[in-house]
Structure 1
């Protein structure tokens, strides 16, 4: 915070239209220039050649072909990020909840998701769900979120993932795991772009709760309201980075300031 107080500029991956009421009172030097994403992402590009990746995990592109065979907005994408560790009991509750949801699901199951090498699914799970579920160890997330088949995102509420999803107009099921993710979840719920898995931080979350919340997001009117709001936020974000938009102008002002510095 001391460094921030001494800085001339603090550039943030946020959007003035969403957070402008908070920034002046808490972070006077913060300048929103978000969403910080490739232009091809914001245009919902689908060709892999148009998008680059900074992922440290090996991405499994096979999920994109699987998505091609699914109906529009029918798939729930599930990913808890690259760091979070889920204990075995919670992992099994999540697996059985997704099985009970009876939806098309793309699920990212990292090899170390439960803290040990080789995450173990419930016995017989793959055989029971193979017709409607695709499981990968890691996905090309931006390409996944830009795919027309994606209808919702069960997320850990990491900020990068949240910005990627909202830039595509994808509604969220909010399940923070640690650190700032709880604050992010509160913010996203306040914006109306996501439903909380639960208001409590207690773990594990039972399969009945998970299945019910998945159903709300993907199948019920409550989810439709969130989906409509997510699309509103997408358009707001696009406008912010267009020429003349708030983030565009802020970045231009920073560049001009940099150019004016003495050599």
Structure 2
């Protein structure tokens, strides 16, 4: 008997692939066939770093299509990558769907598209396939995208997404004000990249109109104001692997799980966990200041220093640093982050505030020290520090460096005031209740899965 067959398409970045893989596994657990469509480079990374117990099954297959760039091209050049995706991948996706429908007895019945790949909604519409959009970022990030026509009409941004003044933006009465420079597509270093990503942003409102379901990886408890602005947005978050027995899947780097045994040896609520995601890059001065701050903290720390984290070829620790901190510090290239954050030894999370990391920290009741790098991370910091009040930010000096004394002082302030931990624990309880049976996120995801399984529904729709 034919099963519903869902195609899911993430943007080719770590913070997008992991959550959509989580959603894919939820569907598989409900007897839905899922094909995950990555770019060729992302496909290679994900499959080469998968463990045997990563939870893949006969109902979950991974395929790839080209992103249009040469194999040797620098895919950290987000401007070039984004423009190439928009030019190349729509046609390649259509070819893939035609091939699947020709060769597979389970034809594609639905497509779930990352909001940053909104062009794929048009492909699905053209081919008569049912469609849903998935936002891996915060609802606030999505509402700023959906509001961009109004922002242009009101003279707040121009047609290339550039803010025209510094007036604070009010999207609704129930949402915090947004700095124009915190609109996520403006938080890149160069103008061409900003303009390239704004082409993605401008696709979102039209894709939204063509979408039957719009799923958000958040909860009412975290972002009620943003969800009230667009009631059609359905929260299904946090959508984390720690809510299941299976390990998290979709990593670009191999996890080093030996750190869990090291954490077992540390006292409860003692470890500073430091991790900045897959994109953050430090200059050597900033890297050394962070290292020396961890040394001065006199606390155990677990620090993720991935390959390419500094502008130099290899991150250079201060002279004698590794020897001086000894076993008090554990440094690794990539961590099983959800398991780390759930460990009772961890006291706080020094984070770049990507939405994955934000949800993982919140779900484990941890206070934050916020160190955003780009995109939506600055607005996430606002929520952590000013709205939820479960973290602190850092101040840079006149040279743009966060110095060791500032870092050490904020660590002491955060861990010396139990209010942060208390508020974080309270939010954890509210968020986790949403994903339990009977909770809002649980109901929304269950209803969506039932919709996928509905029979005899015509896929042909009018505009």
Task: With the length of structure 2 as denominator, give the TM-score of the two structures.
Answer: 0.52
Structure 2 equivalent of residue 20 of structure 1: 224
Structure 2 equivalent of residue 36 of structure 1: 239
1:201 to 1:56, Cα distance in 2 relative to 1, 3 A? farther
1:73 aligns with 2:269: yes
Segments of 4+ moved more than 6 angstroms = 199-202
Give the whole-Å Cα distance in 2 for the aligned partners of 1:137 and 1:201. Answer: 31
Instruction: Give the CA deviation at 1:202.
Output: 7.3
Give the whole-Å Cα distance in 2 for the aligned partners of 1:200 and 1:160. Answer: 28
Per-residue CA deviations over 1:15-52 (Å, capped at 9, x if unaligned) read 01221222222x332111101112xx137x7xxxx423
Instruction: Please tell me whether Structure 1 or Structure 2 has the larger radius of gyration of its CA atoms.
Output: 2
Instruction: Give the CA deviation at 1:162.
Output: 1.0
Q: In 2, are the aligned partners of 1:145 and 1:165 still within 8 Å (CA)? A: yes
Per-residue CA deviations over 1:221-248 (Å, capped at 9, x if unaligned) read 2xx1111111111111111011110101
Q: In 2, are the aligned partners of 1:8 and 1:29 still within 8 Å (CA)? A: no
1:239 aligns with 2:422: no
Instruction: Give the CA deviation at 1:110.
Output: 1.4
Give the whole-Å Cα distance in 2 for the aligned partners of 1:203 and 1:143. Answer: 33
Give the whole-Å Cα distance in 1 for the aligned partners of 2:236 and 2:328. Answer: 39
1:200 to 1:88, Cα distance in 2 relative to 1, 3 A? closer
Corresponding residue to 1:203 among 373, 376, 400? 400
The structure with higher relative contact order (CA 8 Å, sep 6+) is: 1
Structure 1 equivalent of residue 298 of structure 2: 102
Task: Show the 5 A alignment for 1:184-263.
Answer: 184-189=380-385, 190-198=387-395, 203-218=400-415, 220-221=416-417, 224-260=418-454, 262=457
Q: In 1, are the aligned partners of 2:370 and 2:381 still within 8 Å (CA)? A: yes
Structure 2 equivalent of residue 157 of structure 1: 353
Task: With the length of structure 1 as denominator, give the TM-score of the two structures.
Answer: 0.89
Per-residue CA deviations over 1:65-113 (Å, capped at 9, x if unaligned) read 1111100010010011111111111111111111111111001111211
Per-residue CA deviations over 1:143-185 (Å, capped at 9, x if unaligned) read 1111111111000001001111111111111111111100111
Q: In 1, are the aligned partners of 2:348 and 2:368 still within 8 Å (CA)? A: yes
Q: How many residues align?
A: 252
Q: In 2, are the aligned partners of 1:75 and 1:151 still within 8 Å (CA)? A: yes
Give the whole-Å Cα distance in 2 for the aligned partners of 1:180 and 1:210. Answer: 22
Give the whole-Å Cα distance in 2 for the aligned partners of 1:136 and 1:24. Answer: 41
Give the whole-Å Cα distance in 2 for the aligned partners of 1:217 and 1:122. Answer: 26
Q: What SS does structure 2 have at the residue aligned with 1:72?
A: coil
Give the whole-Å Cα distance in 2 for the aligned partners of 1:52 and 1:201. Answer: 40
Unaligned runs of 5+ in 2: 1-203, 459-463
Q: What SS does structure 2 have at the residue aligned with 1:130?
A: helix
Q: RMSD of the alignment, in Å?
A: 2.0
Give the whole-Å Cα distance in 2 for the aligned partners of 1:233 and 1:28. Answer: 22
Unaligned runs of 5+ in 1: none
1:131 aligns with 2:327: yes
